[in-house]
Amino acid sequence: MDYEVRKGDRIAQLIVERLDDQDWMKVEKLDVTERAEKGFGSSGLGVELKEVQPTICFLQADGNHQFCDPFDINQHLILRKEQVLLSKVIIAKASLRKFEEDFLSSVKEVAMEDENWMRRKEELETLTKEEKELLKQGSISEGLLYYKDRLFIPDNDDLQTLIAKSCHHSKIAGHFGQEKTLEIITRDFYWKRITDWVNDYVRSCTTCQQAKTPRHARFGLPSPLQVPYAAWSSTSVDFITQLTNSAGYTQIMVVLDQFTKMAHFIGLQEN
């Protein structure tokens, strides 16, 4: 069965099977063979082993796929770390995942209210029209912004909460911790200060607070403030604001002595 990867598709699962393309021959009896000097495949069957360098393709969510030839294997950053070579394989099953159209429409609608998102989009569109190099690790596709091949989400708490719920509250996720939840979200999404946002979200999760045991040290016993040894050796300051104008003053600064409880009230102007 043929599979077609379109722009915006993301591969969630890929199962491959080895494909033997040699011609099969039916014989009544196998001939006796002797081991030759060149190792496997040199016993007269006419099989010649060759080292083949495959062409490697990195599939991206925005459609900007990267194709690498044998000359790039020692230069490409990803290929230098890990090389996965597939030879003579056939795709048995491919599961693609992509964003729903309704979700992408919601992102575009919310993005119209985010000035920073719109400013970044205009910059990318201008660079694209002028055929200049795009911003570092940024791209634009079908009116949506991508950062490091992840969908750039505008500054909208409702939309970000929707994404966090799907990655943290779902039965598959199972209320993971801060680092794991952040790793799941950043597979497909990105927004500014995402690390702090996710940490606050997981920390405030009601289910996690009720079901998980705290791993930090126990809180210490409350300790009272030290008793002052003399008058005006320890003071506190408080403000009473937004009062009715009286002789040009709308605020009061209260200075309190912690030892004698004597207080001074000082009138202040608004500015």
Domain boundaries of the chain, sorted by first residue: 1-20+52-98, 101-211, 235-268
- With vertex at residue 181, the alpha carbon angle to CA 120 and CA 218, rounded to the nearest 5 degrees, is 125
- Please state the φ and ψ torsions of residue 217, each to the nearest 5 degrees: -65, 155
Domain spanning 101-211, CATH architecture: Orthogonal Bundle (1.10)
Residue 25 has pLDDT above 90, yes or no: no
- 4-18 pLDDT per residue, tens: 555 556 655 565 555
DSSP state of 264: E
What HEC string does 131-183 produce? CCCCCCCEEEECCEEEECCEEECCCCHHHHHHHHHHHHCCCCCCCCCHHHHHH
- 131-156 pLDDT per residue, tens: 666 666 678 888 888 888 888 999 88
The pLDDT mean for the chain works out to 76
Q: Kindly tell me the burial class for residue 173, based on how many C-beta atoms sit within 10 Å of its own C-beta (0-12, 13-18, 19 or more).
A: middle
Confidence of residue 227 (pLDDT cuts 50, 70, 90): confident
Do the Cβ atoms of 151 and 107 come closer than 8 Å? yes
By residue count, the chain amounts to 271
- Please state the φ and ψ torsions of residue 42, each to the nearest 5 degrees: -115, 25
- 82-113 pLDDT per residue, tens: 444 444 445 555 555 677 888 888 898 888 88
Instruction: Show Cβ contacts of residue 181 under 8 Å, excluding neighbours closer than 6 positions.
Output: 164, 167, 168, 173, 198, 201, 202
Using left for φ > 0, alpha for ψ between -120 and 50, and beta otherwise, residue 56 falls in beta
Give residue 27's pLDDT: 77
Residue 128 has pLDDT above 90, yes or no: no
Residue of 127 and 224 predicted with greater confidence = 224
Do the Cβ atoms of 58 and 78 come closer than 8 Å? yes
